[in-house]
Amino acid sequence: MVQFSGLLAFYASLCIANADILQENSKDCDCYVTNGSSSAYFLYRRFFDFRNIPNSNGVYNLEPPNVTSSQDAGGELGQKGYLNSTVFADDWELQTWGRTPRPTTLLRMQNSKQSIYIQDNSKEDNSNATTFLTLRTYRNQQFSSTAEMLGLQRNVFHASIRIYARVHGVPGAVIGMFTYLNDSTESDIEILTRDQINHVRCSNQATIGPDGYTIPGASSDVTLPSPVVWTNWNIYCLDWLPGLSSWYVNESLVLNKTYGVPKLPSCLDINVWSDGSDWSGNMSVGSAAYLDIQWIEMVFNTSGPRHGYPTENNEKRNLERRSGPCKRVCSVDDVERIGIPVRSEAPTTVVVWSFSCCIWLLAAAIIWA
């Protein structure tokens, strides 16, 4: 854990003209603090709530049909209602790309909007959520229909990300919740449905070296604290700090990792897939696996424009330093109501590091030296 003392270190972009659109600060909060061993402060917050979406005309009562072999190009329109509204589309992009089989895989993959949908939850016992979001993968004879939703906030530079979710379905699928810029700048929470239901995988990419061998320390198979199992609802948390990745489940720390911590701005990516490889396993034909999500909360700092920079643009960026008060610090942990931050600390003077474009490895090293 990187400890903060004296002045609190923050990052912010100078290019935040549209900050109010996507960076959902509470009117009572100037910044946000997390607890746990990886406690840190952040400037921005978003809360995506899928729990009680009005079910007009009963559109969420039935699961959309599985994508079949006659619908294999990713052109399905998807579910009507919330997922087609600007409320959702301003923040998330449903993916429709596909991938042909590779030497190490058995199946072609095809993302479809039809495999992401809001589901009615009114019949489930002991839940205050009348709806939730579902991502599904379904095994056809010749390909797997898969699901992916990509966050449009692509300038996230350090964050604490919490997702209230459960997983169910047949062995052979991969559930991914991760930060992403490219295949070497990625931090993962992965659940493999071929694993025992009390195991998750926590990784910082890349996990495979140029020689084709697994990189020691890149990926960890974590046993969840008893009696936690991924078929039940749990809060999965990834804390991404300078030089440290920390993973929590239901506020219990399960892993710290210093290898491969991302050093460039990224976005949040969520997917469910299977390709018949040794990693995913091979789902039986006609079967499916699911990721259900009730809510996502993210507190974060930023660097650069909202949509990010081309990954090939790696020139060094300029750095400025300025001071200012963070008079209203709010906590996102130990709150009475999920999604409602509470005032936490006395007024604090902070140092805000602002970047004209984007923070790269050199800048990060300067800050934390």
Q: Give the 3-state secondary structure of residue 41.
A: strand
Number of helices and strands (H, E) in the chain?
3, 24
Burial class (CB in 10 A: 0-12, 13-18, 19+), 367: middle
Residue pLDDT, tens place only, 39-95: 999 989 999 999 999 998 899 999 999 988 766 677 888 999 999 999 999 999 999
Beta partners for residue 349, in sequence order? 325
pLDDT > 90 in the chain, percent? 63
Is the predicted pLDDT of residue 5 greater than 90, yes or no? Answer: no
pLDDT at residue 308, as a whole number: 80
Hey, how many other C-beta atoms are within 10 angstroms of the C-beta on 63? Answer: 14
Report the run of H or E that residue 321 belongs to, with start and end: strand 319-326
Report the run of H or E that residue 187 belongs to, with start and end: strand 185-192
Is the predicted pLDDT of residue 139 greater than 80, yes or no? Answer: yes
Tell me how far apart the terminal alpha carbons of the chain are, to the nearest angstrom: 15
Residue whose C-alpha is closest to residue 221's, from 184, 175, 173, 254: 254
What distances in angstroms separate CA 62 from CA 58, 120, 149, 167, 237, one per listed residue?
8, 8, 21, 19, 30
More confident residue, 22 or 88: 88
pLDDT grade for 17, boundaries at 50, 70 and 90: very low
What distances in angstroms separate CA 43 from CA 70, 235, 325, one per listed residue?
47, 22, 12
CA 266/CA 248 separation, integer angstroms = 20
User: Residue written as tokens 């906030």?
Assistant: 153
More confident residue, 51 or 306: 51
Residues with Cβ within 8 Å of residue 257, at least 6 apart in sequence: 202, 204, 217, 220, 244, 245, 246, 247
Q: Give the 3-state secondary structure of residue 120.
A: strand
Tell me the residue type at 344.
S
Residue pLDDT, tens place only, 190-241: 999 999 999 999 999 988 888 888 888 889 999 999 999 999 999 999 999 9
Q: Give the 3-state secondary structure of residue 89.
A: helix
Residue pLDDT, tens place only, 177-186: 999 999 889 9
Cα 300–Cα 321–Cα 260 angle in degrees, nearest 5: 45
Structure tokens at 345: 């600390």
pLDDT grade for 125, boundaries at 50, 70 and 90: low
pLDDT > 70 in the chain, percent? 80
CA 166/CA 291 separation, integer angstroms = 6
**Which domains are present in the chain?**
8-41+308-368 (no CATH), 47-302 (2.60.120.200)
Is the predicted pLDDT of residue 7 greater than 60, yes or no? Answer: no
CA 8/CA 136 separation, integer angstroms = 41
Structure tokens at 47: 């809360």
Burial class (CB in 10 A: 0-12, 13-18, 19+), 215: middle
Residue pLDDT, tens place only, 235-257: 999 999 999 999 999 999 999 99
pTM strictly above 0.75: yes
DSSP strand pairing (234-241 vs 244-249): antiparallel
